[in-house]
Amino acid sequence: MDGESDKTMDDVLQQINTVPGVIGSLVCGAAGEVVAHAFPPLFDLSILQGVAGAVADPGSGVRNSAGAFDLVDLRYQDGRIVVKPLEESFLLLLCTKAINLQVLTISLNVAKGKLEALGRNRGDVVAAAAAAGLPGVLTLPACHLQNSAIGSSFEQFGMAAITPATAQQIGTFYKTTGTVKKLKLTSPSSGLSGVFAVMVVNESDDAYDGKLILCKTIERKLKVSAADLLSVELPQEPVGLRGS
């Protein structure tokens, strides 16, 4: 990265993790979806999602406390969970029980502004997509993957691609924990829809979070281009391409 403006949420979380005693960190949205995370490989995403969902649950004491305090420090026998509320999300850290909270607080105050700025950019995309959608149906914008080496595989097989954060967003919206393998995509502008295979790509750039990465074949079939909004559904049965 050349400057502060090039930083992603993952970069900011990695900086937080350099504080002695921090094991891992994540940002979860208001709906409990994991937006970004920096944890050792032994922490499965499903475990992190469970913790994030508990933090964001409107009925939880954690969320109520976060609305009244700048920091929530949950102490356990073997460690601590620290939660810092952001504008529309939460920053959650798993720490050793000996963490120096004063030192950590200084780092979190610096990280807060960066994460909130990045969150606003992401929120603009999600809010615009939601405004154009139908009740009960998730709507996401289409985009291209700039890295042609990564994109060649799903271009070759006519697939769509999503990041792990987008997969989690879809799973949270439709209340499913299964792996996203196929999606029914509908273009409101053209009236065309189809069911397409989906692959999850581990893109480090969170600018792709909350978006559908489309190959040229799908763009032609649905008559869409980058930034167009698409309705996203989990297919119940095979559905062919159709026009309105």
Return the residue matching tokens 């030192």.
103
| Rounded distance between C-alpha atoms, residue 28 and residue 38, angstroms | 12
Average pLDDT of the segment spanning 191-204: 84
User: In CATH, what class is 4-130?
Assistant: alpha beta
Look at the alpha carbons of 103, 104, 109, 110 in this order and tell me if their dihedral is positive or negative.
positive
Of 36-50, 82-96, 133-147, 181-195, the least confident: 133-147
Instruction: Name the token pair of 145.
Output: 């993957």
> What confidence score (pLDDT) does residue 96 get?
95
Q: Which architecture, in CATH terms, is 134-233?
A: Beta Barrel (2.40)
Backbone angles phi, psi at 133, to 5 degrees: -90, 175
Domain boundaries, the chain: 4-130, 134-233
Of 100-109, 191-200, 225-234, the least confident: 225-234
Could you give the C-alpha distances from 193 to 76, 78, 134, 212, in angstroms and in order?
A: 50, 51, 15, 14
Q: Which of helix, strand or coil describes residue 59?
A: coil
Q: Which residue has the higher pLDDT, 65 or 175?
A: 175
For the ranges 165-169, 173-177, 206-210, the one whose mean pLDDT is highest: 165-169
